[in-house]
Amino acid sequence: MKKIFGITGLLIVVCIITALASESFLSGYNLENLVRRTALFGIISIGVAFVIVTGGIDLSIGSVVCLVGCGLPWMLKTYHLPLPVALAVVAAVSVGIGLLHGLIITKLRIQPFVVTLCGLMMYRGITRGFTRDQTFGFGSNYDGLRVLSTGNIPLPFIKGFAIPAPWITLLVVAVLAAIFLNRTIWGRYLFALGRNEEAARYSGINTDRMVILAYVISSTLAGLGGVLFVLDVNSAQPVDFGNVYELYAIAAAVLGGCSLRGGEGSIIGVIVGAALMQVLRNMIMLTTTRTNIEFAIIGAVILLGVIADELVKRYAVRRRAAKALAAGQS
Amino acid sequence: MSAPLLEVRKFTKSFPGVRALRGVSFTLSRGEVLAVIGENGAGKSTLMKILAGVQRQDGGELFLEGECIEIRSVHDALARGIALIHQELNLADNLDVAANIFLGREPHCAGIIDARRLRREARQFLDAVGLDIDPSVLVRTLPIGKQQLVEIAKALSTNARVLIMDEPTSSLSSHEAENLFAVIRDLRKRGVSIVYISHRLGEVKELADRVTVLRDGENAGELAHEEIDHARMVKFMVGRDLSQFYPHQPHTPGALALEVRALRTPANPQHEVSFSVRAGEIVGIAGLVGAGRTELVETIFGVTPALGGSIRIGGVEMVPQSPLDAIAAGLALVPEDRKQQGIVLGMSVRENVSLASLRRDQRHGFLNRSREAQLSAQMIADLRIKTPHDGQAAQFLSGGNQQKVVLGKWLALEPRVLLLDEPTRGIDVGAKQEIYRLMEELAGRGVAIVFVSSEMEEILGMSDRTLVMHEGRIAGELQRTELSEESVLHLATGTHSRATLS
């Protein structure tokens, strides 16, 4: 809980700094866009959070976004598939990718890093292959579906700002994810095996099945994100669509309190982390003329955040240990 | 005896949740073999790690030849002539013997290792420990006993005056152990002082000039050479006579609870293991390290599924393919490695206690939080788990309380058969006795208990019947009336051998 306060505080500070540095930060257009991007990245970040809770990693997210984001309009345009069929295909592919990752990781005991790194390369390569590097979009069709990403929900009494539609999807995903993680036995199993897989297995938990589930959730939400991203921008280039999104997602999850050692994480934290990532990007875009240093700044902020968190944690552990000792002596 | 070479005064050391040392003192003379004994968790290893510079004491002083010194690092300790030979050897097994002996101190010229000098000097130290091997063979090709001697040669090459040996015979054969004793006696003759840590009392009796006993991080007593005998050592170690320490009462066994027939474990597929346990019976499994005891209970529990044979639990035949199967059949296992397999350190007491019973208590997949809280409160009370509240992370509890949490996790499921693998390893004496009482109580309630133990006293004190394992099979079965240290060791070693007396 404390961690969420910390990251929320940081988010507010960065917002204030950006607002002071650039007038356009608080413009309705900018805010709307920022909030929309936060929702889209929030969805894929929640996905990777599940994997991180188990102590694993999913590096393939950006490429899954690419595969789905390019594949959906490609199927619609090239094969004129009915929309529900095309959506069913991308859903099946997303779930299948997670299943494949999970099975290789649990049954063959190959490190998640390696498996998903290969996925990162393969899915983008496959996409570039079948699209022949052509850009695909929806043109002026499917507006009804595109509302999911581009629509706005006007707020009563407030003009100039409306809640972007992806927040509906994000809220549904976030609520379901939070209930799953915190209220069901399977969520508890994920946390337990993330901290100590062996002890979880000795306690009668089918750890392999839970790990596979985490990878399925991750790639499914990446696929959902891919659909929403392409509905939003209406044009996907296989060369760079979704490029490094996995890093934004992982960074958001880590900033939001997920430990890469596993066993820790909260959904609210991940969403705040995703927001912080987007505000940082926005700040760089608005306040500097040299947006090419974006990664330098984002990298530095995350590093400082993680170091600060580690120091606070060590201090807390030492204090608690001293307390426990004092209690034991009395 | 001359003025002490080394003197430890009032060492204290605490770790999160545990006070490992509460003011330990001892002296060591030149050319003396001092045995430091005590139960697991008494503080032996912590004490030695401080002397070797691996850890630093919180309080207390250290004198070397009358001079008060401080040891800040392993390097510091070596420079002072104090070397620790670890229980688990610290050799780079991909390098050859000579390279290991001089690791970090290779004779060189402008960074290029002088290989010939390296071998020549290595030879000299290998001779000192009676090792007739080629210095250029890879360490990993040597048997463990010889690797240990290489480690000693390495210590001697640093001009060590004080050698600390932590359980040096724990993985040696009796012949290798005899060989080691000869080397130790030879070193003693040459004026090297040796601190010998062991809980094998037979060895201690054979080797030591003096014995210092630790209990719960304090000096429990000291025995001069002529006073060293088994009963005195045990009395100091456990703080009272053995008969009072083990609350064993005869049980009237009920129906067959666990029957194992011709079971083949993946670790020892060439042997078939058969035995049975009745409700309300406590059966001990004794044997040397590596005899296949842990592998046996893990196979019964489904951690490493059996290759063949049958298991009947409460008359129902089933061979568990996973712990989940075993649990469903009414089995529970308190595993050997508490921190790795037993408990989830970062989770709370409550979450650990409920971990195995979440599935039973679920409400359509949702956690039953009130049931969980009730269960953990009950276990904290029943097992007297010392914790400020049930939300305390398990990592902040002492070893004994952690073990009680693991036990609580299983008792919540009310198992028919409870398997315990080294149930009291690394926990203090008080908690030990509570666990023994609990075993008694559970047996009284009709639970069949199987426990694996490497502690002879525990086997003698707690079991109604003992199975002794040797090299993957059950070498024999002893009724309580036939049970003695000699009879157990006779079966455990395959022969009657003095060197492995413990």
DSSP for B280-320, please give it: T-EEEEEE-TTSSHHHHHHHHTTSS--SEEEEEETTEE---
Q: Chain B closest CA to A54's CA: distance in Å?
A: 13
> A253-275 burial string, b = 16+ CB within 10 Å, else e?
bbbbbbbeebbbbbbebbbbbbb
Q: Which residue in A198, A204, A206 is closest to B356 by CB distance? A: A204
Nearest-angstrom CA–CA distance, A226 and A241 = 9
- Model pLDDT for residues B23-51, shown as the tens digit of each residue: 999 999 999 999 998 876 678 888 988 99
DSSP for B462-477, please give it: H-SEEEEEETTEEEEE
Among A196, A203, A213, A320, which would you mutate to test the B interface (most chain B Cβ atoms within 10 Å of its Cβ)? A203
Residue of chain A whose Cα is closest to the Cα of B323: A204
Asked if residue B497 has pLDDT above 70, the reply is no
Q: Which helix (H) or strand (E) holds A169?
A: helix A166-183
Q: Which residue in A185, A203, A321 is closest to B362 by CB distance? A: A185
B266: helix, strand or coil: coil
**Given an 8 Å threshold on Cβ–Cβ distance, is B341 in contact with A202?**
yes
- A131 DSSP assignment: H
Most confident of the ranges A175-184, B233-242, B309-318, B448-457: A175-184
CB A233 within 8 A of CB A242: no
**Given an 8 Å threshold on Cβ–Cβ distance, is A188 in contact with B358?**
yes
Residue B486 exposed, middle or buried by CB count within 10 Å (0-12, 13-18, 19+): exposed
Q: Which residue in A195, A196, A203 is closest to B409 by CB distance? A: A203
Nearest to B263 by CA among B223, B299, B213, B317: B299
Nearest-angstrom CA–CA distance, A116 and B26 = 56
**Given an 8 Å threshold on Cβ–Cβ distance, is A324 in contact with B388?**
yes
Per-residue pLDDT at B417: 96
Chain A residues with beta carbon closer than 8 angstroms to that of B360? none
Per-residue pLDDT at A118: 97
Asked if residue B430 has pLDDT above 80, the reply is no
Asked if residue B427 has pLDDT above 70, the reply is yes
Nearest to B432 by CA among B197, B285, B240, B218: B240
ipTM at complex level: 0.88
> B213-217, B235-239, B497-501: which has the minimum mean pLDDT?
B497-501
Interface of B with A in 170-199 (CB under 8 A): none
Per-residue pLDDT at B265: 93
Determine phi and psi for B417, rounding to 5 degrees.
-125, 125
Q: Is A325 an 8 Å CB contact of chain B?
A: yes
Asked if residue B409 has pLDDT above 80, the reply is yes
Interface of A with B in 244-273 (CB under 8 A): 263-264
Nearest-angstrom CA–CA distance, B309 and B92 = 40
- Judge whether A253 lies within some domain: yes
Residue of chain B whose Cα is closest to the Cα of A199: B341
Residue B63 exposed, middle or buried by CB count within 10 Å (0-12, 13-18, 19+): middle
pLDDT, mean of residues B140-168? 87
Per-residue pLDDT at B45: 82
- Judge whether A56 lies within some domain: yes
Asked if residue B500 has pLDDT above 60, the reply is no
- Judge whether A188 lies within some domain: yes
C-beta neighbour count of A290 within 10 angstroms: 7
Q: Is A128 an 8 Å CB contact of chain B?
A: no
Q: Which structural domain, as residue segments, surrounds residue A196?
A: 2-150+161-320
Per-residue pLDDT at B2: 56
Among B304, B358, B405, which would you mutate to test the A interface (most chain A Cβ atoms within 10 Å of its Cβ)? B358
Distance linking the first and last C-alpha atoms of chain A? 30
Confidence band, pLDDT 50/70/90 cuts, at residue B296:
very high
Q: Return the CATH number at A103.
A: 1.10.3470
Q: Which CATH number fits domain B6-241: 3.40.225.10, 3.40.50.300, 3.90.79.10, 3.30.360.10?
A: 3.40.50.300
Per-residue pLDDT at B253: 86
- Model pLDDT for residues B175-202, shown as the tens digit of each residue: 778 888 988 998 899 899 999 988 777 7
B85: amino acid identity, one letter: I
Q: Which helix (H) or strand (E) holds B267?
A: none
- Judge whether A325 lies within some domain: no
Strands B448-452 and B465-470: unpaired
Number of H helices, E strands in chain A: 13, 2
Strands A162-164 and B316-317: unpaired
Q: Which residue in B19, B333, B355 is closest to A192 by CB distance? A: B355
Confidence band, pLDDT 50/70/90 cuts, at residue B240:
low
Tokens 């290789």 locate to: A104
Nearest to A189 by CA among A171, A204, A168, A175: A204
Confidence band, pLDDT 50/70/90 cuts, at residue B502:
very low
pLDDT, mean of residues B48-60? 89
CB A169 within 8 A of CB A151: no
Per-residue pLDDT at B501: 40
Query: Domain boundaries in chain B?
Result: 6-241, 245-330+415-500, 344-414
| Number of domains, chain A | 1
- Judge whether A327 lies within some domain: no
Nearest-angstrom CA–CA distance, B428 and B402 = 12
Higher pLDDT, B39 or B22: B22
Which stretches of chain A drop beneath a pLDDT of 50?
A: 329-330
Interface of B with A in 342-401 (CB under 8 A): 342-347, 351, 355-356, 358-359, 362, 365-367, 386, 388, 392-393, 396-398
Per-residue pLDDT at A330: 42
Chain A residues with beta carbon closer than 8 angstroms to that of B392? 324
Nearest to B424 by CA among B336, B292, B296: B336
- Judge whether A202 lies within some domain: yes
Distance linking the first and last C-alpha atoms of chain B? 29
pLDDT, mean of residues B117-131? 88
Token output for B78: 């070596």
**Given an 8 Å threshold on Cβ–Cβ distance, is B366 in contact with A196?**
no
Number of H helices, E strands in chain B: 18, 22
Determine phi and psi for B88, rounding to 5 degrees.
-90, 125
Q: Chain B closest CA to A194's CA: distance in Å?
A: 10
**Given an 8 Å threshold on Cβ–Cβ distance, is B359 in contact with A191?**
no
Higher pLDDT, B334 or B499: B334
Asked if residue B238 has pLDDT above 60, the reply is yes
pLDDT, mean of residues B95-100? 90
Residue of chain A whose Cα is closest to the Cα of B327: A204
Q: Radius of gyration (Cα) for chain B, nearest Å?
A: 24
Q: Which residue in A183, A184, A196 is closest to B344 by CB distance? A: A196
Sequence-distant (6+) residues with CB within 8 A of A26 are A19
Nearest-angstrom CA–CA distance, A164 and A43 = 14
Residue of chain B whose Cα is closest to the Cα of A194: B344
A to B CB pairs, distance under 8 Å:
96
- B113 DSSP assignment: E
Per-residue pLDDT at B439: 94
Per-residue pLDDT at A2: 67
Higher pLDDT, A308 or B385: B385
**Given an 8 Å threshold on Cβ–Cβ distance, is A203 in contact with B398?**
no
- Model pLDDT for residues B301-321, shown as the tens digit of each residue: 999 999 999 999 988 998 899
| pLDDT > 70 fraction of chain B, expressed in percent and rounded | 96
CB A233 within 8 A of CB A146: no
Identify the bridge partners of residue A288 per DSSP, sorted by sequence position: none
**Given an 8 Å threshold on Cβ–Cβ distance, is B17 in contact with A321?**
yes
Q: Chain B closest CA to A204's CA: distance in Å?
A: 4
Q: Which residue in A185, A199, A328 is closest to B344 by CB distance? A: A199
Token output for B52: 């070797």
Confidence band, pLDDT 50/70/90 cuts, at residue B107:
confident
Chain A residues with beta carbon closer than 8 angstroms to that of B346? 195-196, 263-264
Distances (CA, A) of B409 to B98, B227, B324, B467: 50, 44, 14, 27
Token output for A163: 């809640």
Q: Is A209 an 8 Å CB contact of chain B?
A: no
Q: Which residue in B303, B362, B392 is closest to A202 by CB distance? A: B303
Nearest to B344 by CA among B406, B427, B410, B298: B406
Q: Which residue in B17, B333, B335 is closest to A328 by CB distance? A: B17
Q: Which CATH number fits domain B245-330+415-500: 3.30.420.40, 3.30.43.10, 3.30.2230.10, 3.40.50.300?
A: 3.40.50.300
Asked if B6-241 and B245-330+415-500 have one fold, the answer is: yes
Q: Radius of gyration (Cα) for chain A, nearest Å?
A: 21
